[in-house]
Amino acid sequence: MTTIDDIRENFSLLDDWDDRYRYVIELGRTLEPMPESEHTLENKVQGCTSQVWLSRKDEQDATGEPVLRYLGDSDAHIVRGLVAILLTLYSGKPAKEILATDALAVFDEFGFREHLTPQRSNGLRAMVDRIKADATRAVEAAV
């Protein structure tokens, strides 16, 4: 399983943005397949130009804290790779950790702000907002 540190290290080895995009596309190919039945309106992320779906399965850790596990998919190769990076950051993590993790800062660290179209940046923000809202609801429900 790839970690965000693995992705960070691999990104640092790639100087050319064409190579970085190819790597992002490869990451998208590693996503766990999302069953077609999960491609629903409820799972569709609003605000993305490409079609993006995130389905969530709630779990609890040993202390009873909510843990959010995601499947994700997109009809666009690069966006599917962005989903893979997001799920590396967030899926399988406790809701409180999700709320404390700034995915946009990580994407900025990788240099995406300068290399994504405004539409893709808005879609990325919509995905992060969706996951953060899920985490907020999970924390509130656990209280």
- pLDDT, one tens digit per residue, over 89-128 is 999 999 999 999 999 999 999 988 888 888 889 999 999 9
Convert the pLDDT of each residue in 51-98 to its tens digit: 999 999 998 888 889 999 999 999 999 999 999 999 999 999 999 999
Work out how many domains the chain is built from and give that number: 1
Whether 42 is a known active-site residue: answer no
Q: Is 18 helix (H, G, I), strand (E, B) or coil?
A: helix
| CATH number of 105's domain | 3.90.1010.10
> Which structural domain range is residue 96 located in?
4-142
Compute the distance between CA of residue 5 and CA of residue 15 in angstroms, rounded to an integer: 17
Compute the distance between CA of residue 103 and CA of residue 82 in angstroms, rounded to an integer: 11
Q: Which of 24, 48, 71, 84 is catalytic?
A: 48
Quote the pTM value: 0.94
For 44, residues 6+ apart whose C-beta sits below 8 A from its C-beta are 51, 52, 53
